[in-house]
Structure 1
Amino acid sequence: MRRSHLQLASIRKLKMKFTFQHNNDPKHTSKSTNVWLHQKKINVLEVPSQSPDLNPIERLRGDLKRAVQRRCPNNLTDLEHFCKEEWANIATSRCAMLIDSYPKRLSAVIKSKGASTKY
């Protein structure tokens, strides 16, 4: 069983409700992906493409990128090692803050009519 299937099974065992968000990359919006999401009864949050302000993972990726760059990896092995270490160091409170700020970010994107925001 693939990792995503295991995660989905674990979430269902906990009877958690969640909404899936992706970035409208063509592989995420393909017919086969949409059919799979529908079959698994996964709620998908519809967001405009090219909207990093609405995607919390983009902020986490930025955090990760800056942390790894500060460590100046010299090769792919260092890069992989530093990425894993720095990812593990991201505080859960940072993730919670990004999720909690979503309504404000959404309002800002609507107000800016999809243009860049302070987020």
Structure 2
Amino acid sequence: MSKTNLCYLLLLLILLPSSYFLTSVLAKSRNPITDSEIKKKKSECYADIDSGLWGGHCKSSSIAKENCALKCLSPACYELIYESDPLEEGEKDYIRSQEFKYCMYKLSLGESLEGVRGSFDH
């Protein structure tokens, strides 16, 4: 191995761990999503649904529109909280609504979603 290649290898070995540390620090320093940001994004989702971007099934009823808006807002959180049991007509599910917001909060911080589902059960 040439001296130049050895220098590059040593430099790489020094910089790799520091770049990993910097990435993890930056990921942890994210700001959590706010209620107003969620509200704004959900309004944008409703506009996309109304324009037909999400297909006709999302405009078939108010509850279909709400399920599509939640999926638009956060596909990962929708899958975790609602996908196996979507909202039904007339249903108000305060607990799952709180879990969904908590899920979005954790995602915005780059945290694991472990324990989100069921975290607001009594």
Q: Which has the higher helix share?
A: 2
Q: Give the structure with higher Rg (CA).
A: 2
- Calculate the TM-score normalised by the size of structure 1: 0.25
- Calculate the TM-score normalised by the size of structure 2: 0.24
Q: Which has the higher contact order (CA 8 A, sep 6+)?
A: 2
